[in-house]
Each structure stands twice: as C-alpha cells, then as structure tokens.
Amino acid sequence: MKLKAWLKKHKLTQAQFAKLVGCDQPHVSDLMNGKVTPGVRTIIKIAEATDNDVTYDDWIKERLEAGRAKYTKEKK
C-alpha cells in the first residue's frame, strides 16, 4: 500500500505521521512525492508505524514504476 493511501485511510496528516516515525513533515512529503528514497531505518519505522501495511516492497515497486515511466517517456 502506498503511504498516501494509508494516511488517507487512517485519517492522519503528514505531520501526525512524521511524529510517529520520528522525522519532520517536509520529509514525509518528500517521501510521498518521490523526491527522496527512504533509507532502511526509515522503511522499518514506516512498516512498524503502519503495522506492515506500507513495506519495503511498496517502496521498491513505486521506484520501479517511476523509473519505467521515465524510461518510456524518454524513448518517445
């Protein structure tokens, strides 16, 4: 599950979620918008905070999809 969907489902703001995982709201925003890729510690904290609804596999899948879209766009 993507983090954005999880936050919406649980009616949490980025700021509230940031407190749960020990970072600031702008970092959560950057994660959700693909501006930064989470490190292992952050991925673990997010998985724990979401009761494993948002996992490492979700981040990898999202990065692969973004890379594939970029590659396809560049080939055109």
pTM equals 0.79
Mean pLDDT of the residues in the chain = 89
Q: How many CB atoms lie within 10 A of CB 31?
A: 24
Report the pLDDT value the prediction gives residue 50, as an integer from 0 to 100: 96
- Kindly report, residue by residue over 19-28, the tens digit of the pLDDT: 999 999 999 9
State whether CATH 1.10.260.40 applies to domain 3-75: yes
Question: Is the pLDDT assigned to residue 63 strictly greater than 90?
Answer: no
Q: Are 43 and 56 in contact (CB under 8 A)?
A: yes
Question: pLDDT band for position 5 (50/70/90)?
Answer: very high
